[in-house]
Amino acid sequence: MQRRTLGKLSAALLLPALAPARAAEGETVRIGWLRAPNDLTTGRARGTLEKALAAQGAKLEWAGPFPAAAPALEALNAGSIDITAGSSTACIAALAARIPMVIFAYQKIAAGGEGILVKQDSPIRSLADLAGKSVAVNRGGTGEYLLMRALEKNGVDASAVKRVYLSPSDSGAAFTQGHVDAWATWDPFVVIGVKSYGARVLADGAAIGSDNAVTLMASRDFVEKKRPLLQAVFDTCLDDNRWAQNNKNEAGRIWAEAMSLPPGLAPAIGENNAVPTRGVTDADVAQIEQIADWYVSSRIVPRRPDIAAGVVKLG
């Protein structure tokens, strides 16, 4: 009897090791989505994330849409969501503020997905012409990074350009009404500006020298407790990303619809944003660190966060 009891106990102890990595039944994953062209938006529209998580015995709850990464990260910090998307600049601000989050996917932004816009008839013809002008940016985010990086690269004193801190939607209104001379922004606002607001691109991401990227982020607690579910989300996002690269017009249609934009903008949005996503590499960490160093020297954040400690590498 003792041998039979020990045998049963040994078998019971072995079961967890032999079972496949799978979340407990009834787990919930809360994803905060943005009105933005990224892999989470694609997965939401195609229903792929729900299916992948259901296969893990979990269900998916969508929160949002959030207007930008900053409020989504505030929700993550408050424990209201587990996963969201943003830019590498948003990650730096969040890590500097000690929000308990990690980056688990990285997508370098295409040159056409960022830029500094001016009106078609503006006398501003070069970045040097921004001296003495006003530029709409979002404080501490991608817009401010793009402007400051462009000025630095082109030898323009940052103090010679007035930064007007506005949300993306308020920036668009200020730009169209002539309250600012230029607008430093990203997609879909680059496409909206050019196609709908009579803007031209003064400098795109390549001319600016931008190192910015779209990132997918998760709370530390979620990573520590529900790693199989994070892996399922990551794998599905990679699948959706490959689909988007092979179907740029359809991806653009999905993103335009999610952002309530005219269908005519879809091809340009698809072309600008259907670019490869990958797990975070050492080179990606180094690139974010360069932006973080620049953020500190520009006094956008008070301290340089430990970027490497804010990354989880998934295979």
Instruction: Tell which residue, 88, 80, 130, 127, has the closest CA to residue 105.
Output: 88
* Digit-coded pLDDT (tens) for 60-83: 999 999 988 989 999 999 999 999
Q: How confident is the model at residue 277 (pLDDT cuts 50, 70, 90)?
A: very high
What is the reported pTM?
Answer: 0.84
Instruction: Tell which residue, 88, 146, 151, 149, has the closest CA to residue 286.
Output: 88
Helices (H), the chain: 2-18, 39-46, 48-54, 69-77, 88-96, 142-153, 168-176, 189-196, 205-208, 220-225, 227-246, 248-258, 266-273, 282-297
More confident residue, 220 or 9: 220
pLDDT of residue 112: 94
- Whether the pLDDT of residue 3 is over 50: the answer is no
The predicted model gives 182-187 an average pLDDT of 96
- Whether the pLDDT of residue 10 is over 70: the answer is no
Q: How far does CA 54 lie from the centroid of its chain? A: 25
Q: What is the mean pLDDT of the chain?
A: 90
Helix/strand/coil percent split, the chain, to 5: 50, 20, 30
The least confident of 63-67, 77-81, 181-185, 218-222 is 63-67
H or E stretch including 115?
strand 114-119
* Digit-coded pLDDT (tens) for 78-112: 999 999 999 998 899 899 999 999 999 999 999 99
Q: If DSSP codes are grouped into helix, strand and coil, which group holds residue 215?
A: strand
- Whether the pLDDT of residue 217 is over 80: the answer is yes
Q: If DSSP codes are grouped into helix, strand and coil, which group holds residue 174?
A: helix
Count helices and strands (H / E) in the chain: 14, 10
Cα torsion at 97, 100, 106, 109 (round to 10°)? Answer: -30
Of all residues in the chain, what percent carry a pLDDT higher than 90? 80
Token match 């005219």: residue? Answer: 262
Which domains does the chain carry?
28-109+212-310 (3.40.190.10), 111-208 (3.40.190.10)
* Digit-coded pLDDT (tens) for 120-179: 999 999 999 999 999 999 887 889 999 999 999 889 999 999 999 998 889 999 999 999
- Whether the pLDDT of residue 8 is over 80: the answer is no
The predicted model gives 252-258 an average pLDDT of 96
